[in-house]
Structure 1
């Protein structure tokens, strides 16, 4: 499956067709001779030039995220995503892009339900180390999602975006005609009690309408699913929750407010919106 996924890539230097090199020293090679060696952990870094100006998640943030997700707190979300992706990958050559794959948690759920060629993109090498171990059959790539994606036109059935940046024109380009874009975002009130205690950012009103507006040029809206998951978190789990997201760039994992030893557990609710969008191109 890895070689199939890499065949869907296009060289970021010359846009040439890519393939997986032979032998024990794995590398991505393009038709013009550009080479991208695999890191020892199994992922590939395709960024060229100055790399990216965006701040990648740190090793501590990624570790917190993996502990929290491995605890099963968002298992219902992962299962829902996997079922929706399976509905959209009914063809003979299913393919999925996870844009902002992180540790590969949600992509893993998708591939467990529907074996497919898969590509995972993220700018954090710390996240991709874990993603490559979890999803070795996928092409796990260091990449800036705001750039043109290193993928062939119309090569994916599904693009998955879970709490990650969105690049609508590029998502539309790489999706096959009639392809599906699944976008997971928090709704107002998401983890409100946890945010109040820890200093996490709250969710602004109007984000749902803004999302639809930013995608409208390239995608047709489908149904929207609201998913609420009640959580009962001990201090350690609450600290991981606060530190694993964007607030982790500004918080100290050992001094997160409201998570010190002895602090009582917290009941809160994760409130998600899963938007299902279709490419404006239709299958013949």
Structure 2
């Protein structure tokens, strides 16, 4: 699970997790990597430095969640507000994993859900991908056995075909072509989406982004030719939020760009709201 802000300056041992390293491919030439001190170097000579915090930036410059958004998310998740969702995701993702399994978290953020999964499947390895280096600084230290790389999920992934036993996609862009390619035959795809009622009580006070009521229908339709649905679970969590918690839950995602500070400043009392999610589990078809 996420360890909170106190770990931000913690030392990160040199070395990328071997299973994750073996799954990576150079984004320039698709050659395999090997570790050379604090760098990953492919057989063609392309080299990428491992940051002091442990992640590797394979995409160069890019965009992603800001440091402020990442801090808000880390503080909110570390308080345990979404712990029931993390347990459910971990239960589904860690089910029947082999000893040397690889779990790819596409859009890992701070690594909160990937860490929960590895805590349940101790012998597995995690590979977290995200565009936000601010988030990856935390993800790389969220749990032993996580390799974290900066990458744009809309581009072909720097991961070998059939390398992943499980792919997790939690509130993140879904590159279904790459999910199908990177998953092994009969591999598992775990997708988490917000329900249309998610945090609906907050909308009484704040003009937040709406969640599409047809989201699940469109999700199933987009996946039906390459994946089969094997399970679906609703997850509702009643939350008691102080004003600072409301600030964090708004600023940890896209609403950070849409909700004016004045709207949040007007909330000065404790609110009871419901977080509502849907966890969908799919099997990769040949």
Please report the TM-score for the alignment, with normalisation by the length of structure 2: 0.90
Task: Extract structure 1 runs of 4+ deviating beyond 2 A.
Answer: 249-252, 258-261
1:38 aligns to 2:43 (yes or no): no
Stretches of structure 2 that go unaligned for 5 or more consecutive residues are 1-15
Q: Which residue of 2 aligns with 1:134?
A: 142
2:19 and 2:102 in contact (8 A); partners too? no
Distance, in Å, in 1 between the alignment partners of 2:189 and 2:50 is: 29
1:185 and 1:273 in contact (8 A); partners too? yes
Q: Which residue of 2 aligns with 1:176?
A: 184
Stretches of structure 1 that go unaligned for 5 or more consecutive residues are none
1:236 and 1:259 in contact (8 A); partners too? no
Residue 109 (structure 1) aligned to one of 107, 116, 127: 116
1:260 Cα shift? 4.5
Distance, in Å, in 2 between the alignment partners of 1:202 and 1:179 is: 32
Distance, in Å, in 1 between the alignment partners of 2:33 and 2:266 is: 50
1:65 and 1:240 in contact (8 A); partners too? yes
Distance, in Å, in 1 between the alignment partners of 2:265 and 2:278 is: 27
1:155 and 1:174 in contact (8 A); partners too? yes
Q: Which residue of 2 aligns with 1:93?
A: 100
Q: Which residue of 2 aligns with 1:162?
A: 170
Q: Which residue of 2 aligns with 1:62?
A: 70
1:232-243 equivalences under 5 Å are: 232-243=240-251
Q: Which residue of 1 aligns with 2:6?
A: none
Please report the TM-score for the alignment, with normalisation by the length of structure 1: 0.91
In structure 2, the residue corresponding to 1:144 is in which secondary structure? coil
1:246 aligns to 2:254 (yes or no): yes
1:228 Cα shift? 0.6
Q: Which residue of 1 aligns with 2:277?
A: 272
Aligned length: 270
Report Cα offsets for 1:93-136 as digits up to 9, x if no partner. 21100000000111110111112121100000110111112235
Aligned CA RMSD, in angstroms, stands at 1.5
Distance, in Å, in 2 between the alignment partners of 1:38 and 1:248 is: 30
Q: Which residue of 1 aligns with 2:263?
A: 257
2:115 and 2:142 in contact (8 A); partners too? yes
1:21-36 equivalences under 5 Å are: 21=36, 23=37, 26-36=38-48
In structure 2, the residue corresponding to 1:36 is in which secondary structure? strand
